Amino acid sequence: MSFELSGEQTELREAARKFARRELWDLARELEEKDLPLPAEMRRTYGRLGFLGINVPSRLGGLGLGLFEALLVLEEFAQVSPAVAWPVFESLTGPAQLLLRLASNELQERVIPAVVAGDMVIAAAMSEPAAGTALTDLAATARRDGDWLVVNGQKRWCSGGGHADAYIVYARMTDEPGARGIGAVLIEKDREGLDFGRREALMGFRGIPTADIFLDGVKVPAGNLVAEAGQFGELMTIFGIERCGNATMSLAIAAAALEEAIAYTCEREQFGKPIIEFQAVQLKLADMVMRVEASRLLVHRAALAAKAGIPSSYEASIAKCYSNEMVREVAAMGMQLMGGYGYSKANRMEQRLRDAHAWGIAGGTTDIQKTNIAAALSGRRFDQRR
Q: What is the CATH number of the domain that holds 172?
A: 2.40.110.10
β pairing state of 122-125 and 166-172:
parallel
Distance CA 251, CA 356 (A): 9
Q: Do the beta carbons of residue 189 and residue 164 sit within 8 Å?
A: yes
Q: Do the beta carbons of residue 13 and residue 7 sit within 8 Å?
A: no
- Residue-wise pLDDT for 131-154, tens only, equals 999 999 999 999 999 999 999 999
Domain total for the chain?
A: 3
Asked if pLDDT for residue 1 goes beyond 90, the answer is: no
Asked if pLDDT for residue 273 goes beyond 90, the answer is: yes
Average pLDDT over the chain, rounded to an integer: 97
Residues 308-336 have a mean pLDDT of 97
Asked if pLDDT for residue 188 goes beyond 80, the answer is: yes
Residue 132: inside a domain: yes
Residues 342-351 have a mean pLDDT of 97
Whether residue 127 is found in the same domain as residue 108? no
Residues 6+ away with beta carbon under 8 Å from 310: 101, 237, 238, 240, 241
The pLDDT of residue 2 is: 79
Residue 383: inside a domain: no
- Residue-wise pLDDT for 160-184, tens only, equals 999 999 999 999 999 999 999 999 9
Q: What length does the chain have? A: 386
Distance CA 124, CA 182 (A): 15
Distance CA 232, CA 362 (A): 19
Percent of the chain whose pLDDT exceeds 70? 100
Q: What is the CA radius of gyration of the chain?
A: 21
Whether residue 197 is found in the same domain as residue 290? no
Whether residue 238 is found in the same domain as residue 208? no
Asked if pLDDT for residue 385 goes beyond 80, the answer is: no
Residue ending a domain, among 229, 259, 278, is 229
The pLDDT of residue 140 is: 98
pLDDT band per the 50, 70, 90 thresholds, residue 222: very high
Residue ending a domain, among 105, 120, 135, is 120
Residues 268-276 have a mean pLDDT of 98
Q: Where in the sequence is the domain holding 29, given as residue range(s)?
A: 7-120
The pLDDT of residue 167 is: 98
The pLDDT of residue 151 is: 98
The pLDDT of residue 378 is: 93
The pLDDT of residue 285 is: 98
Whether residue 323 is found in the same domain as residue 288? yes
CATH of the domain at 344: 1.20.140.10
Whether residue 237 is found in the same domain as residue 365? yes
Residue 183: inside a domain: yes
The pLDDT of residue 119 is: 98
The pLDDT of residue 384 is: 77
- Residue-wise pLDDT for 74-108, tens only, equals 999 999 999 999 999 999 999 999 999 999 999 99
The pLDDT of residue 50 is: 98
The pLDDT of residue 381 is: 83
Residue ending a domain, among 97, 120, 143, is 120
Whether residue 164 is found in the same domain as residue 263? no
Distance CA 319, CA 251 (A): 10
- Residue-wise pLDDT for 15-40, tens only, equals 999 999 999 999 999 999 999 999 99
Nearest to 258 by CA among 79, 123, 124, 10: 79
Whether residue 280 is found in the same domain as residue 250? yes
The pLDDT of residue 194 is: 98
CATH of the domain at 28: 1.10.540.10
pLDDT band per the 50, 70, 90 thresholds, residue 362: very high
Residues 337-343 have a mean pLDDT of 98
Q: How far is CA 205 from the centre of its chain?
A: 11
Percent of the chain whose pLDDT exceeds 90? 97
pLDDT band per the 50, 70, 90 thresholds, residue 341: very high
> Helices 67-80 and 232-267: crossing angle, nearest 10°?
40
